[in-house]
Chain A
Amino acid sequence: MITTDIGIIGAGPTGMFAVFEAGLLKMHCHLIDSLPQAGGQLSEIYPQKPIYDIPGYPAINAQQLVDNLSEQIAPFHPGFTLGERVETLEKQQDGTWTIGTNEGTLINCKVVVIAGGLGCFEPRKPEVDRLAEFEGKGVLYAVRNPEAFRDRNIVIAGGGDSALDWTIFLANVAKKVTLVHRGDTFRGAPDAAEKVAELARTGIIDLVLKSRVVALDGAGHLEQVTITGQNGQDQHIQADNFIPLFGLSPKLGPIENWGLKIDKSAIEVNTFDYSTNVEGIYAIGDINTYPGKLKLILCGFHEAALMAQSAFKHVYPDQRLTFKYTTVYGITELA
């Protein structure tokens, strides 16, 4: 069990900056995110786009802002659990909370901060017969450990960059890679598209264009996929794995079930300190709502600062908080 002062659900810019504001008040944090990297929407949706409304930066690339935030919070040594989705939130008898993830990781904390943005980014799932049945039994939505595909027959579906990149990478690992794409051209990175065409010309991979995977078959584990072409003809391919790569889309997910007041997929908060209707749980950033709410990074930062001042009383009930400028005292690294 991981133990910390504040458990932060969501490692987007708001959750990251909350570590800084909490750290100034000597509170330790642990961040959990379903994505494999920190940065939320910035790293996942628009890493290379410039942002123009971060105070003090006339323009800054989204990924650069995330990198700067990482550097800024480093002295406070936040813990990270990445690539795991928070499923459960339970109050303990001693008044603390236990956060549980889909991988069974448990985090015990005095305060919970939900900085979940638009929700968990979940893979877009294609409409394929028996897809859910084979999830974890041959069907995967991301490649974590490429070695797991050694000497296997795999079918990848998708037309975007990640479908191209993984096809190229796994071509040398798997026994056979078949890439199935709905269209007949690849519009993603031209280099990757050219490489895939070359792999197909030389017979290293099979490229099936203008087609869709429509059904899966197997006894217990995936054995075969059925592909339909635009001409309506079916072909069956032997496959140990099917990897649909159609990007990610945010879903509120488990947050709905924690007894919080929710309005249109957002958590209602008190703007005094961004607390929710449940004592000890705060919600900051894109996930919350209140009259006049703006879904902006700078608003998430502001909310993080006020939240930390209020959370202090849960972490250090016997201490009084005195407000200090960083220019006067600097920042003190947490042990």
Chain B
Amino acid sequence: MITFNVKDRDGKQTAIEVPEGISLNLMEVLKGSGYDILATCGGMALCATCRVQVKTGAEQLPPPGDAELDILDTLPSIEDNTRLSCQLRVNESLEGCHFTIPPED
């Protein structure tokens, strides 16, 4: 099992467990777990509505790719360690991470 923590917009924190070896990204898992994120573009790194803040564990995640950096660049203001959840594969790198879902645009 891979376990990580998610804090929703109301500040409620929940531990999420996902079996190893599933082929999903974090956005899909968050949506599947009932979190209210738009993910308008369905995971193509085009809309940034799936963004999360990585409060703990940012350094253990793979660095953002070009497409992700491009779209993050177009946002007015973001906190450090903001990532697009659709660009994060669910695997061991997420173990123990803490994510916060920021307010809607």
Contact surface of A with B, Cβ cutoff 8 Å: 41, 45-46, 49, 118, 124-127, 157-160, 163, 182-183, 186-188, 212, 244, 246-247, 249-250
Contact = CB atoms under 8 A, between A and B. Distances in A.
A187 B66 contact: yes
Nearest to A125: B76
What are the 5 closest A-B residue pairs judged by CB atoms, nearest first? A126-B76, A160-B74, A159-B73, A249-B105, A246-B76
Nearest to A247: B74
A244 to B, nearest CB: 7
Interface of B: 38, 40-41, 44, 46-49, 66, 69-70, 73-78, 105
A127 B77 CA distance: 8
A250 B76 contact: no
B76 A187 contact: no
B48 to A, nearest CB: 8
A188 B49 CA distance: 19
Contacts of B75: 124, 182, 246-247
Contacts, number: 56
Contacts of B41: 45-46
Main secondary structure, interface of A, reads loop
A158 B49 CA distance: 17
Nearest to A183: B73
Contacts of B76: 124-127, 157-158, 182, 212, 244, 246
Given A126-B77, A212-B77, A247-B48, 18 more contacts: A45-B40, A46-B46, A124-B76, A124-B105, A157-B76, A158-B74, A159-B73, A160-B73, A160-B74, A163-B74, A182-B73, A182-B78, A187-B70, A244-B76, A246-B76, A247-B75, A250-B38, A250-B40
A208 B75 CA distance: 16
Nearest to A245: B74
A163 B75 CA distance: 12
B40 A188 contact: no
Contacts of A49: 44
Contacts of A250: 38, 40
Contacts of B77: 126-127, 182, 212
A41 B41 CA distance: 9
B70 A45 contact: no
A152 B74 CA distance: 25
10 contacts: A45-B46, A45-B47, A49-B44, A157-B76, A182-B77, A187-B66, A188-B70, A188-B73, A246-B75, A249-B49
Contacts of A157: 76
A46 B74 CA distance: 16
Contacts of A127: 76-77
Contacts of B73: 159-160, 182-183, 186-188
Nearest to A162: B74
Contacts of B70: 160, 187-188
B67 to A, nearest CB: 10
Nearest to B41: A45
Nearest to B69: A187
A246 B48 CA distance: 11
B79 to A, nearest CB: 12
A157 B78 CA distance: 14
Nearest to B46: A45
A17 B70 CA distance: 33
A210 to B, nearest CB: 12
A196 to B, nearest CB: 14
A258 to B, nearest CB: 22
Nearest to B66: A187
A125 B103 CA distance: 13
A67 B103 CA distance: 36
A46 B43 CA distance: 12
B55 to A, nearest CB: 20
Given A45-B40, A46-B41, A124-B105, A159 B46 contact: no
